[in-house]
Amino acid sequence: MERLLQVRTKPERVVIGLNSGTSADAIDSIVVRFRGQGLELAHEVIASDERPWPAAMRARLLRAADMSVAEAADLHVELGAAFADAAKGIMAKAGLRAQEVDLIGSHGQTVVHHPATDSGRATATLQLGDIDVIAERTGIITVGDFRARDAAAGGQGAPLMPFLDWMLFRHRPGTVCLNLGGIANITVVSEQIEDCIAFDTGPANMPLDLVAEKLTNGSETYDPGGRLAEQGHVDAVLLERLLRHPYILRAPPKTTGREDFGAVFVHSLLCKETHMALVDILATLTAFVADSIHAAVEEVQPSDVRELVVSGGGLHNLALMRRLKQRMLPVPVTSLADYGINPDSKEALLFALLAHERVLGAATNIPRATGARWPTGLGKIAL
């Protein structure tokens, strides 16, 4: 406890953020220096990095939801060690010793996310990557398991991003922040944090990656630059059917994941559309991602949108971005890089911020976005 008190009373804190997204392609890491707290909080990015998962480990991550409890327990420890190694790697890149880092915030790897439903079932969400292993191997206080407390308070445990979006853009209300990871999520930023609207709009890279991998017989695990989708044609009938997916039509608060738009979704689609070329299915799915985002923005704030600021790996899919810009006209679509922040490191930055705020005792969920009964601090602490 004395270590925590020392961290809390420092004028500035150095924090590492770690994340592996729903696409399970890499561990993203970042080192951030935070000064002050609350509305006076300022941050400086010292270094960021990406460590791709080896193919065999990625395959295990993608099937983790179907593992036995014994296999999942082993993977939990292995991932803790992998995240610890990533933390050491980013420290080396930043030229820092462990004694110079105050905290690590690790989201781990989400392997199950079952949001609460109208049937009364409670939210179940599970991230692997033991924070005690990270703390033990690095000697640094580690914060993780960020979704669980919000879920316990009646929320969906997600989205977590709106706290960061509001911190970054609270002086530009009407900004819509879009993160294109495996799943797409938006935050409509308001002047007051409790008024922000945020939810998962639907899929982003997840189904595109799976179809691209099948299309290339495994030589690619994603669609580089959207070049494969550019070669196909959008099927209007299939696109219309996809836009009637039950998740897309559901009102927020809502979150989704691999259970809705992962391998089962893609397998079902390919079985139904055997008459279509894979490249046309990919092109149609790419259009579906863009159009579902546009529909979500139109539904929650059709006239007051100032700008759509994009981050995440999908930003590099030129076919997706071209379609999104067309659909969003006249609203400008920009990159988080235009604001001096690496768009590929945003999620890692989020978990550094959440760890920082957890130790300082701040509530970081937004009940309007998650459905929780009240604001609460997020994350467990391993000393």
Residue 195 has pLDDT above 60, yes or no: yes
Residue 78 has pLDDT above 80, yes or no: yes
Average pLDDT of the chain, as a whole number: 95
Mean pLDDT confidence for 158-170: 97
Mean pLDDT confidence for 351-365: 97
DSSP state letters, 179-207: EESSEEEEEE--SSGGG-EEEEEEESHHH
Give the residue extent of every domain in the chain: 2-160+343-382, 170-331
Q: Which two tokens stand for residue 93?
A: 């890149």
Helix%, strand%, coil% for the chain, nearest 5? 45, 20, 30
Mean pLDDT confidence for 50-78: 96
Q: Which two tokens stand for residue 232?
A: 């196909």
Mean pLDDT confidence for 148-174: 96
- Enumerate the β-bridge partners of residue 307: 175
Q: Which pLDDT band, with edges at 50, 70 and 90, does 1 fall under?
A: confident
**What confidence score (pLDDT) does residue 303 get?**
77
Q: Which pLDDT band, with edges at 50, 70 and 90, does 278 fall under?
A: very high
Q: First-to-last CA distance in the chain?
A: 8
Could you report the per-residue pLDDT of 17-33, keeping only the tens digit for each?
999 998 899 999 999 99
Fold (CATH) for 170-331: Nucleotidyltransferase; domain 5 (3.30.420)
C-alpha to C-alpha distance for 238 and 373, rounded to whole angstroms: 39
**What confidence score (pLDDT) does residue 118 get?**
57
Between residues 319 and 115, the one the model is more confident about:
319
Quick one: what percent of the chain has pLDDT higher than 90? 92
DSSP state of 227: H
Q: Which two tokens stand for residue 149?
A: 């407390």
CATH 3.20.20.150 fits 2-160+343-382, yes or no: no
Are domains 2-160+343-382 and 170-331 of this chain identical in fold? yes
Tell me which amino acid residue 208 is. L
**What confidence score (pLDDT) does residue 222 get?**
95
Could you report the per-residue pLDDT of 217-271, keeping only the tens digit for each?
999 999 999 999 999 999 999 999 999 999 999 999 999 999 999 999 999 999 9
Between residues 270 and 37, the one the model is more confident about:
270
Q: Which two tokens stand for residue 228?
A: 């494969």
Could you tell me if 328 and 297 are in contact, meaning their C-beta atoms sit under 8 angstroms apart? Answer: yes
Between residues 119 and 176, the one the model is more confident about:
176
Mean pLDDT confidence for 94-106: 98
